[in-house]
Amino acid sequence: YSIKDKNMSNLISNIPYTELAIGQSASMSRTVSAEDIALFAAASHDTNPAHLDADYAADTQFKHVIMHGIWSAGLISAVIGTKLPGMGTIYLGQDLQFRRPVYIGDTITATLTVAEKNDAKKWVTLDCVVTNQNGDKVVVGKANVLAPSEKISREAIAVPQVSLKS
């Protein structure tokens, strides 16, 4: 389905392979809410109590409910799909290391930087660093993508509004 942004003037554009440069970067930030954790659990079926049960989480090494680690990788995917390189990119692979927990109320920022280009295959390696509001690295890794060959501009699609029912 498609939901157009209500502003209707919010154009997004991709960055074709030929316009990508080593060192070029893009970022996206989100503040984690309890609802984000519940929505991710509903979508992924990962109902580990470390993510959903405060009483259980209190007895873990983290002492509080934590966000699913792979949710941070979703933020990396969002940067790839909407900013760097953006629309038309084919996600080939991802290497991740989870360094720190992400808690409710944390603001995390995924920053991707062009590290390598393979002209023969039009593949791009992106360094991926996800930090919290204190600058602590919570996830690090590398992504490999096939960058688009043509420039594309379109109206941004608004994030769907969803709610949970018990």
SS (H, E, C) 70-134: HHHHHHHHHHHHHCCCCCCCEEEEEEEEECCCCECCCEEEEEEEEEEEECCCCEEEEEEEEECCC
- Give tens-digit pLDDT for 90-143: 999 999 999 999 999 999 999 999 999 999 999 999 999 999 999 999 999 999
pTM: 0.90
**Residues comprising the chain, all counted:** 166
Give the residue carrying structure tokens 């018990």.
166
Average pLDDT over residues 26-50: 96
Average pLDDT over residues 42-61: 96
- Give tens-digit pLDDT for 60-81: 999 999 999 999 999 999 999 9
Between CA 147 and CA 117 the distance in angstroms is: 10
- Give tens-digit pLDDT for 148-163: 999 999 998 888 888 8
Measuring CA to CA, which residue among 110, 68, 111, 76 is closest to residue 93? 76
Distances (CA, A) of 131 to 25, 38, 104: 15, 22, 14
Dihedral of the alpha carbons of 89, 151, 109, 96, in degrees to the nearest 10 = 20
Between CA 106 and CA 33 the distance in angstroms is: 8
